Structure 1
Amino acid sequence: MLHYRIKNMHASGGDASQVQLPYQDDTTNSQYINDVTDEGAIQTPGVQHIGFKLHTEEFLLPMSLVREIIMLTTITFVPKATFLVEGIIALRGEIMPVLNLRRFLKFERGKAASTTRVIILQCEYGGFGVIVDDITEFVRLQQTEVESIPQNFFPAEYKILAGVSRVGDRIRGIIDINKVVDEMTADLQKEQEDEETSSPEH
């Protein structure tokens, strides 16, 4: 198997140093997170999202899908993998794919920097990572701050957006992880269907 290395940007060494996430309440009500103040923890409305940059654009992801954030680490190339997959990593014994959304959004190829991170997410197939250029902020969004997008006015690549957030003059796309996973697995499902169609009947 062909291997290559993306420069490890962890300042103190190690392959997958974890970046601490902000405090989160363990409540089952996803409409609230804890906002810690000097007076203690108080509940405030809103769904927590993480902001990140790809190329010159900023996007958001729901924090409920985020397992952890790690420094960029060694990525192993996988021959014939779908174009979204940059490669695979080993994270505490778990092998998982790492996606490069720059390719899907047709952004120019980026270079690793000190701000580059891998956001580890969870889906029905297991864990996987997404390479981002920078983590920008953690933000709470209320329902009135999330709007649907006019699909006819966006390139086809932007179909992975669930909507956009608008806070003042600041507009950011919200990534729909289910749509990303669908894109990632579409080729595999097609190959499986082709194999089943071409296999001789017994």
Structure 2
Amino acid sequence: MNRTTIWIALAVLFAGGCASSPVVFVSDTASPPPSDASVLILPADIEISELGAAPIYIRPRADWSQAATQGLYDALDVWFSERGVKPIRYAHDTIANEDSEVIRVATINLDIIQWAQEEGAFHGIYSVPSEFMDRLDEYGADYALFVTMFARRDPGSGVLLTYNLLTGSLFRAALFDLADGKVVWANIVPMAWLRLRMGNPAEADAERWLRSFETLFHGFPL
């Protein structure tokens, strides 16, 4: 069995075990959303890497990551607008220094939610402190969305692996209420990128992104 076949087999194995079971968190204390809700799209944390001759050799591709990030933003604009939700873009391509704590704590929240959901542990109230969220008041949004994805692509087969023995589940999103900083909803989907037909995310069009959202935004409250 050659290297490409092995990676395809691993992808199929983990897809069968994980793709049908999204790790979804929905807050039972969140306030009902307004009828004209708006969502601030925070800078996404996306890294697409290329697998080398050996699985342990991983080369991050800034060009793929940047193209995938832009594709994500464009598709989110369409997806939210179709749902009657106003998308608001963050003012910069990357997070400003004064807002860096928002991203850091948002990532920690996702880590804890993922662990709690997978382990069946007791859930607390997840949130970003108000002193960080207050800095986003200028956008006038009701919510903030944060998406992260780390993926490894096999250049030989073109298979995009978002779940493997080394990296685990790495396509995640969380929605925060900007009124109090609490996490309203979060989801971790190991193989959502399979809905992009295992292609290079840098080349994914809006249609393929929107298909992936059917899985990523499972149980989304807006």
> TM-score category by the smaller chain?
under 0.3
Q: As a proportion of its length, which structure holds more strand?
A: 1
Larger radius of gyration: 1
Taking structure 2 as the reference length, the TM-score comes to 0.25
Taking structure 1 as the reference length, the TM-score comes to 0.27
Q: As a proportion of its length, which structure holds more helix?
A: 2
